[in-house]
Amino acid sequence: MKIFKFGGASVKDAASVKNVTQILQSEGTESTVVVISAMGKITNAFEEVIDAYYNKTDKLSENLGVIEDFHKNLMNDLFDKDDEIYKEIDILLGELSWFLARNTSQRYNYVYDQIICFGELLSTKIVSAYLTKIGVENNWFDVRNYIKTDSNYRDAKVDWDLTQGIISNKLDASKLNITQGFIAANDTENTTTLGREGSDYTAGIFAYCLNAENVTIWKDVPGVLNADPRVFSDTTLLEQISYEEAIEMAFYGASVIHPKTLQPLERKDIPLLVRSFVNPKETGTRVSKGTSLVPSIPCFIVKKDQILVSISALDFSFMVEDNISYIFKKLHEYQLKVNLIQNSAISFSVCIDNKFNKFDEFYNELKTQFKIDVQKGIDLFTVRHFDDKAITSIEEKGKSLLTQVNKETIQIVLESN
């Protein structure tokens, strides 16, 4: 049993869909689960639909039209006009319209998940239909009937026992199976999502439940690199790394592997392969067990558009356990991801990611009790296995606001140029 995951860039247009089908044919189509994301930038397009719907702007119809036109134009390059897939896509778009017309909930995260899921449903229907058209037998299934979670919309937690039982009993693992990443369902059959970029995690869930031979994540890069090629011009392929090193890199924000993907794989010693859909003959990176699989060169991770917050007591008293515990409770409550922590006798600093846009609520609540200094739009650079040259190369990129060092890792907060 093999698990493949293809992200949005791998199915961004008709030529890309054809490339994916060629990879599947080359790799073998038996005993394979293929997890596919929404096409291209369609998740972003659905977020614009959500914004227009939730905020009742006049852009809703236009934004829906962009999504429909994108998929229909792509399909025109893959199918004949009378192919059944056009009806299936119209049914999905009709279900979306039904939700938009009938929904009465004002909960943003709930609304988000019920709408965003259509990106994955549309993409997998199209890929499955094209495989069928070219003679590759496959089984499309709705992942929401297999992966079950709690009701923490936009960042749902998997019910492992229930999910394991369903996948083991319902899925025909001998076939080529096509399904969606990122999405799941709760016990009331409402759609939930596993966190942004959660399609990798979906692949890990299936691998764990099916005791897979391996998981392959197909990317537009050669494998796991020691730095993001969009930020650094000189990068090196890491041919082999350990689970522990990959988890460290993911924790600090490396975008190649989702932070939650590796834990289920490590528990069952299932290797993770990161390969290029651009050059599928290349071996890429293998992530597996082994303390010796540690990079011998510095590895750079960048998180853009962070917020640096320095918090101190109004009376200049010490920042001690009670204060810090309260602050962390509020950070959790407002879903603010902490990427760096540093404290002194009278101040406590955190570098946070405001992906749920709740920082202003957090700030307004705490400002009555603490003195808070805020710097937005800063960059956090993390270097694993750093040396003096690596540190210098980061410090040349901007004004350093905060630095934290341990044995293996240095983190530097920079004011963006």
| pLDDT single digits (tens) 46-98 | 999 999 999 999 999 999 999 999 999 999 999 999 999 999 999 999 999 99
* pLDDT single digits (tens) 201-225: 999 999 999 999 999 999 999 999 9
For 68, the token pair is: 């429909």
Q: Is 251 annotated as a binding residue?
A: no
Mean pLDDT of the chain: 94
Q: Which of the two residues, 314 and 29, has the higher pLDDT score?
A: 29
What is the model's pTM?
A: 0.86
**Which residues share a beta bridge with 116?**
none
Q: Is residue 344 very low, low, confident or very high in pLDDT (cuts 50, 70, 90)?
A: confident
Closest CA to 357 of 56, 60, 67, 154: 154
**Which residues share a beta bridge with 415?**
399
Count of alpha carbons within 13 angstroms of residue 355, beta-carbon side? 14
Concatenating the DSSP letter of every residue in 319-369 gives --HHHHHHHHHHHHHTTPEEEEEEE-SSEEEEEEE-TTS-HHHHHHHHTTT
For 271, the token pair is: 């290797």
Q: Is 403 annotated as a binding residue?
A: no
Pairing of strands 183-185, 139-140: unpaired
| pLDDT(374) > 70 | yes
Q: Is 296 exposed, middle or buried (0-12, 13-18, 19+ CB in 10 A)?
A: exposed
Q: Is residue 291 very low, low, confident or very high in pLDDT (cuts 50, 70, 90)?
A: low
Per mean pLDDT, which range of 59-68, 180-189, 277-286, 337-346 is the poorest? 337-346
Buried b (16+ CB within 10 A) or exposed e, 93-106: beebeeeeeeeeee
Give the whole-angstrom CA distance, residue 68 versus residue 36: 19
Give the whole-angstrom CA distance, residue 95 versus residue 87: 12
Q: Is 135 left (phi over 0), alpha (psi -120 to 50) or beta?
A: left
For 137, the token pair is: 């037998």
Q: Is 7 annotated as a binding residue?
A: yes
- Helix, coil or strand: residue 206: helix
Domains and CATH numbers, the chain: 2-212 (3.40.1160.10), 299-415 (3.30.2130.10)
For 254, the token pair is: 């490396």
Q: Is 43 annotated as a binding residue?
A: yes
Query: What angle do the packed helices 42-54 and 60-76 form, to 10 degrees?
Result: 160
Q: Is 8 annotated as a binding residue?
A: yes
DSSP code of 182? S
- Helix, coil or strand: residue 137: coil
Give the whole-angstrom CA distance, residue 275 versus residue 288: 15
